[in-house]
Amino acid sequence: MIKVHKLLGIFSILIPFISACAQEGPYAYKKDDPNGIGKWYMGREIAHVMGFQGMYWLERPEREKEEKATKLLENMQLSETDVIADIGAGSGYHVFKMAEKAPKGIIYAVDIQEEMLEVLKLRKREFKASNVQIVKGSEKNVNLPKNTLDKVLIVDVYHEMGYPMEMMQSIYNAMKKEGKLYLIEYRGEDPRVPIKRLHKMTADQAVKEMAAVGFVLEENIANLPWQHCMVFVKGVN
């Protein structure tokens, strides 16, 4: 008969191992990178969310040079009547640029942080952007009407989503049949891009994860300095 103290010793070894490999639906849990939350999706550790305290990074003067937001908006081929959602809109760096280009459309500025939403409200008044609608999303849902979006923009946010499958499913549902998703992520394949590893993504990883909810890569536009500009359309879901 195995003695109780020996059993306790075995459990003390097994419990951390089991915990490190815990699985919940499509998500696995194990500790690895200090910049990650210990939650994994399709072989990728999810990164910590950049809090509102990092808002200065979103509005830094050198951002246009480093990311070419002007070129990104050209890639999106915006029309004046487009209905667009900026997911993880932050302080609205892209929102109000798009609002100028779609004066007869709607720009949904979606974020989950109250502090970001307050800044968006202030800037909406400042820019007199009546075509901007500010929406509080959740970790699992963008809270937008079904079949309404012509275009969706996600800039350097997807890799931080705590529930990427659920969020992308909600975005898929909110898009029109012919809608387009512009997924912008720092290039994980390029070690010269000066961004932490978990805050970058490879194109292969992004395509794999988007396919899980029915998105198909139409094009990866390679004209941004540090980022992928991946264009996805709705496939069969």
Is residue 36 included in any domain, yes or no? Answer: no
pLDDT value of position 167: 98
pLDDT value of position 54: 64
What is the pTM for the complete model shown? 0.89
Is residue 95 included in any domain, yes or no? Answer: yes
DSSP string computed for 142-211: ----TT-EEEEEEES-GGG-SSHHHHHHHHHHHEEEEEEEEEEEEETT-TTS-S-GGGEE-HHHHHHHHH
Is residue 9 included in any domain, yes or no? Answer: no
The CATH number of the domain holding residue 74 is 3.40.50.150
Residue 80: which domain range?
49-234
Nearest alpha-carbon partner for 105 in 53, 148, 71, 146: 148
Residue 120 CA, chain-centre distance (Å), reads 18
Is residue 223 included in any domain, yes or no? Answer: yes
Angle at 173 between CA 167 and CA 175, to 5 degrees: 105
How many structural domains is the chain composed of?
Answer: 1
For every one of its 237 residues, what pLDDT tens digit does the chain have, with 9 covering 90 and above? 445 444 444 444 444 544 456 888 999 999 889 999 999 999 999 999 976 666 766 778 898 999 999 999 999 999 999 999 999 999 999 999 999 999 999 999 999 999 999 999 999 999 999 999 999 999 999 999 999 999 999 999 999 999 999 999 999 999 999 999 999 999 999 999 999 999 999 999 999 999 999 999 999 999 999 999 999 999 975
Instruction: Read off the DSSP letter of residue 196.
Output: -
Is residue 153 included in any domain, yes or no? Answer: yes
pLDDT value of position 237: 57
CB neighbours of residue 151 within 10 Å: 24
Gap between the Cα atoms of 100 and 120, Å rounded: 15
Is residue 158 included in any domain, yes or no? Answer: yes
pLDDT value of position 13: 44
Is residue 27 included in any domain, yes or no? Answer: no
Is residue 12 included in any domain, yes or no? Answer: no
pLDDT value of position 108: 98
Cβ proximity of 102 and 131 under 8 Å? yes
